[in-house]
Chain A
Amino acid sequence: MKGTMMRDVMMKGTAMKQARKALVAALGVWALLGAANAVQAAAQEAPKPAKATPRLGNGQVNLGLSAGEKGFWGNSGSIYGRGRLSHRSNLLLEELPFQPWAKALYDYRAANRQSDDPHSRCMPPGPTRLVETVNGFEILQMPDLNRVYFVFGGGPRTWRVVYTDSRPLPDIDDPDTIGTYQGYTSAHWEGDTLVVESTGYNDRTWFAQGGIPHTRFLHLTERFSRPDFDTLSYEVTVDDPGAYTKPWTGGFDVSWTYKSWDGGDEGEIREYFCQDDNNDVLHMYGN
């Protein structure tokens, strides 16, 4: 009996040692697995290196599509407010230096849910609105012709010509200067940034999202840059003494979009025409 008990005690002790060893081994494996998972998770969370800014053969930054690539410029922010893709340095709506009538008109439009938006009646977008659209847009550079074309992907098929020959801008107080939807442009490159001066706008558009007003005195200084392949940075200085008490600046980033609107892999802007002279205007709403 005594020997049996001793044998039992010894076996229990051995078993406990073995169990302790197994536990330590298991803990070690678990620790190793945890470490491996942490490394893998860290690798997955780390942002992929941005694709390099593409350039044309002459070394100029390519603001548009490159050979062998697909896509177009899609989602964007706003030139005021600090929402997604809007620049952190933007003024908030309540900080915009509106003239009193301009603020009252903006409030009227907002209260009516922007139902009077001319863009919803198939009228062309204004210059900033053209690059502030969910429908997307494309940029075509023609350095040999001193032109950059902005092609709008929205319903009113619009394009804007930016002349890069530093031509003089017209005198808007000259009665022979006819205001246009996209204005008269004169642009130049400052390093990798396209700087576009423009004036001579008519007042038939909402030049930017949200219904902030402008007048025929509108003068814009726009800056387009492409810090990496997938990002277009847009900044504009609005100088319009008719609607604002002083010049102000705002901007946003635009994301490169690889998918077509319908999710197709072609990465192309689909054909989409809105109906000009829509006779059911009274039942249309904006946003």
Chain B
Amino acid sequence: MKQLMRKRFAALLGVLTLCGSFVVQGQEGYPLEGTWSGERQVNGKDSRVLLSLTLQRDQSVIGFVIENGKRQPLQNVQLRPESWTVSFTLEGGYQVEGKIENLGSFSERKIVGKWSQGSDNGNFAVKMN
């Protein structure tokens, strides 16, 4: 699994160099599985984020965020299918509460919500690659 994550990290760096998101093919399985890219609003400015999420056999979800060239693993990733809301926390960092939009879309699926850390907070929005 660590090797899989390393491969995903390398792939995400490749995406960074392309300077934009692109539609590969539709992902029709577990709705969070895959890579996402977007922005986290920090002090009124957009900070580019890349998110990778992987479903495990035991239904747990692992992942990481790449922001400002720094890779941080995720903790406590939760998907609530009754409302299609998502939450996760960066190890030692901020937490995100969001909702999946355009669940059935192959090109417009998004996680839209808020991040917070202490008294700081802002918008968080990523789109599936």
A residues lining the B interface (CB < 8 Å): 99-101, 103-105, 108-109, 112, 115-116, 118, 121, 123, 173, 175, 203-206, 213-217, 241-243
Contact = CB atoms under 8 A, between A and B. Distances in A.
A105 B4 CA distance: 26
A81 B59 CA distance: 27
A217 B55 CA distance: 10
- Among the interface residues B28, B30, B58, B59, which one has the most CB atoms of the partner chain A within 10 A? B28
A175 B104 CA distance: 27
Interface string B1-18: 101101100000000000
A215 B55 contact: yes
A205 B106 CA distance: 11
A98 to B, nearest CB: 10
A221 B59 CA distance: 23
Given A115-B104, A241-B57, A213 B81 contact: no
A204 B104 contact: no
A242 B55 contact: yes
B1 to A, nearest CB: 7
Contact of B33 (A103, A123, A203): A203
27 contacts: A101-B30, A101-B79, A103-B81, A104-B82, A105-B31, A105-B81, A105-B103, A108-B103, A108-B104, A109-B104, A116-B106, A118-B26, A121-B106, A173-B1, A203-B28, A203-B29, A203-B30, A203-B33, A204-B25, A204-B28, A206-B28, A213-B28, A215-B30, A215-B33, A215-B55, A216-B29, A217-B57
Interface string B80-104: 0110100000000000000000011
Contact of B7 (A115, A175, A214, A243): A175
Nearest to B103: A108
Interface string B31-71: 10100000000000000000000010111000000000000
A243 B29 contact: yes
A170 to B, nearest CB: 14
Nearest to B59: A99
Contacts of B117: none
Contacts of B79: 101
Query: When A and B form their complex, which 5 residue pairs have the shortest distance between CB atoms, in order from nearest?
Result: A203-B29, A116-B104, A104-B81, A101-B81, A175-B4
B110 to A, nearest CB: 15
Given A123-B25, A206-B28, 14 more contacts: A101-B31, A101-B79, A104-B81, A108-B103, A121-B26, A121-B106, A123-B26, A175-B3, A175-B6, A204-B25, A241-B57, A242-B29, A242-B59, A243-B29
